[in-house]
Amino acid sequence: MTTPPGHSDRRGGLLLVGAHIADMEFTAGHLARLHALAGEPVTILHLTAGEGGHPGMEPAAYRVQKLEEARQAAEVLGISCRVLDTPDGSLVPSPEVVDVVAGILTELAPSTVVTHWRGSFHPDHANTYFTVEAALARVARDGVTPQLWFPDNWEDADGYRPDIFVDITPVYDDWLEAARCHQLFRGGVVPFDYQSYYVGLSAMRGRLAGVERAAGFMSPPPIFAKPLSRLG
Ligand SMILES: [Zn+2]
């Protein structure tokens, strides 16, 4: 595990758990900055570096670049950052990874956890959800019961419906600077235009929320049972 400087040993606050470096910065970096400015401890945990995502670079070289991008973005946001050694593309909610995440949850005891919604076309994203879900179930026995929010990630759109909207106008410039630490955001890695998408999304959500820039999050859907149909 890589633990860049700035790690906080205070408990509470916000923990963001992403599948790949950049996922949480793009979708919840503004929320992280808001919490950091409020004086709360904020940690971003990347379950993989995302080193397999550059078609023109060897994974080992891209991993070095990604770690540096994560470090820079965390510095801009004023938060702590950790990266697991799990290889990109092979994340599964194994007992070992669940153990690590549960350990971090116990250590940090966050008030809020932000992670991927399970309705994703990317297996690493869905498996991040299942990893966090299993880790949360384990630490709940010890009284660690943070609220869970899912950010608005274009890859996790199946069944995603935000019901929480946060005014990110005060931290928009910081978020954009942090996101732009990543080549993936600036462009030239994959055809998808991350910057245009997430900049436009924040403007669209802002229009709906009546502010300049906003971000949507989804709380866990309620578990419900439909009444049984009566036969005959
Ligand atoms: Zn990802």
Ligand 1 center–CA 164 separation, angstroms:
22
Region 31-52: mean pLDDT is 98
102 lies in some domain: yes
Is residue 226 very low, low, confident or very high in pLDDT (cuts 50, 70, 90)? low
Ligand 1 center–CA 50 separation, angstroms:
7
pTM: 0.92
Residue with tokens 């009444």: 227
Ligand 1 center–CA 154 separation, angstroms:
10
Q: Name which of 71, 95, 103, 97 is nearest 84 in CA terms.
A: 97
Q: Name which of 47, 198, 192 is nearest 125 in CA terms.
A: 47
Q: What is the pLDDT of residue 98?
A: 98
> How many angstroms separate the CA atoms of 18 and 47, rounded?
6
Ligand 1 center–CA 21 separation, angstroms:
7
Bridging pattern class, strands 14-18 and 42-48: parallel
* Per-residue tokens: 182: 């990543």
* Res. 5: pLDDT tops 50: no
Ligand 1 center–CA 231 separation, angstroms:
47
Q: How many residues are listed for the chain in this entry?
A: 232
The CATH number linked to 110 is: 3.40.50.10320
230 lies in some domain: no
Instruction: Give the total number of structural domains in the chain.
Output: 1
* Res. 46: pLDDT tops 50: yes
Ligand 1 center–CA 125 separation, angstroms:
6
pLDDT for 25-39, tens place per residue?
A: 999 999 999 999 999
Encoded amino acid at 46, one letter? H
> How many angstroms separate the CA atoms of 92 and 190, rounded?
24
Ligand 1 center–CA 20 separation, angstroms:
5
Q: Look up the domain containing 131 and give its range.
A: 14-218
223 lies in some domain: no
Q: What is the pLDDT of residue 185?
A: 98
61 lies in some domain: yes
> How many angstroms separate the CA atoms of 97 and 216, rounded?
28
Q: What is the pLDDT of residue 6?
A: 42
2 lies in some domain: no
> How many angstroms separate the CA atoms of 60 and 77, rounded?
26
155 lies in some domain: yes
Find out whether 29 and 18 touch, Cβ atoms under 8 Å: no
> How many angstroms separate the CA atoms of 104 and 219, rounded?
22
Region 50-58: mean pLDDT is 95
Is residue 120 very low, low, confident or very high in pLDDT (cuts 50, 70, 90)? very high
Q: Name which of 138, 143, 132, 99 is nearest 11 in CA terms.
A: 143
Q: What is the pLDDT of residue 224?
A: 61
Ligand 1 center–CA 130 separation, angstroms:
15
Ligand 1 center–CA 22 separation, angstroms:
7
Ligand 1 center–CA 91 separation, angstroms:
11
Element spanning 66, H or E: helix 59-77
189 lies in some domain: yes
> In which order are the strands placed within the sheet that holds 147-151?
80-86, 42-48, 14-18, 112-115, 147-151, 214-218, 164-167
179 lies in some domain: yes
pLDDT for 55-101, tens place per residue?
A: 999 999 999 999 999 999 999 999 999 999 999 998 999 999 999 99
Ligand 1 center–CA 27 separation, angstroms:
11
Q: What is the pLDDT of residue 4?
A: 43
